[in-house]
Amino acid sequence: MLPKFDLYMPRTIQEACRLKAEGAEVVAGGTDVFVNMHGGKDRTAKVVDVKGVPELQGHTFDPERGLDLGALTTHREIELWDVIRERYPAMFEGCSRVGSVQIRTRGTLGGNICNGAPSADSIGPMLVHDAQVVVTGLKGSREVPLKEFYLGLKKLDMGPDELLTRIRIPAPPDHSGSHYIKYTRRKAMDLALLGVSAYVELDGDVLKKVRLALTTAAPVPMRAEKTEALLTGQLVSSSLLAAAGKTVLEESHPRSSWRSSAEFRLALLEELTVQALEKAIGRAKEK
C-alpha cells in the first residue's frame, strides 16, 4: 500500500519547478517512484505530477533538425513510431525492451534518464545518437549533452529547482547505422546484465564517425570514448573490431552483483562490442 502523500498537479513549468525546489517528488509515469513508495524505499510526503506541464509534452521529427522529444514521451510511443524504427534503430531496440507493454505505455524517457539506473535500456541508444537534454528551472533553460548529464551514481547535472523538459537528437545522415544489444539470462522482463549500443557513419569502408555506449558496465551509463577514438578514421576490418573489443575493457568498470559477476560482464562486453559494431556497420552499408 502507498503511504499517504499530498498530490500536486501543476499546469506551468514555474509551479512545477517551485514544488520540486520545496522537496516534492516528481512523478511522470510513476513506474519507479510509486514502486519505491510502495516498497518503503521512498516515504515522501509531497508528490508533484508533471503530466499537465506543456513544456514536457509532445514529440516531433524534422529531417534537418532531428528529434525534439518532450520528457513525457513514453517508451511505447518511441516503439511504435516509424521514424524511430527507420532512422534510429538502436532507440527502437532499446525502448522496445523496457519492461512490459504496460510499463512502456506508462514509463517516460525523461523518467528513465532521471532515474539514473546504469542498466536503463533507452539511455545507451540515446547516448550514441548524440542526445542533448534541456533542463529548465526557475531562472530559465539550458542544454546539456546527455553524456555529461551523469555526474555519478544517481547524481545528475540538475539543480533542486530544475526539471528535465526535452530531449533533442540530431537526424542521422546517409550511410549511418546503429544497434543496441541487451544481454539477459531469459527473454522476459529482466534488467540488462550488460548493454552495448553502437553508432557509425561510413565513408566507403572508412569509419568516419563512431559512438559506443555501455550500460551496466560502470556506475553510470557511459560513452566508450577511448574505443571510439581507436576506430574513427580507420578502414573497417575484423582485426580492427577485435581490437575495439579489447580496448573497451580498459575503460569499463562493471561490478559484481547477485545477477552477475564483474568477470562475466567483462567477457560479455568484449564479444557484444564486436557484434554491436558489426550490426551498425551493416546497417550503414544498406543506406
Q: What is the pLDDT of residues 154-202, one digit of tens each?
A: 899 999 999 999 999 999 999 999 999 999 877 766 778 899 999 999 9
Confidence check: pLDDT of 236 > 60: yes
pLDDT digits (tens, 9 = 90+) for 42-62: 667 799 999 999 999 999 999
Give the pLDDT score at 34.
65
Worst-scoring range by mean pLDDT, 86-90, 150-154, 245-249? 150-154
pTM of structure: 0.93
Nine-digit cell string for 32 = 519507479
State what percent of residues in the chain have pLDDT above 70.
Answer: 94
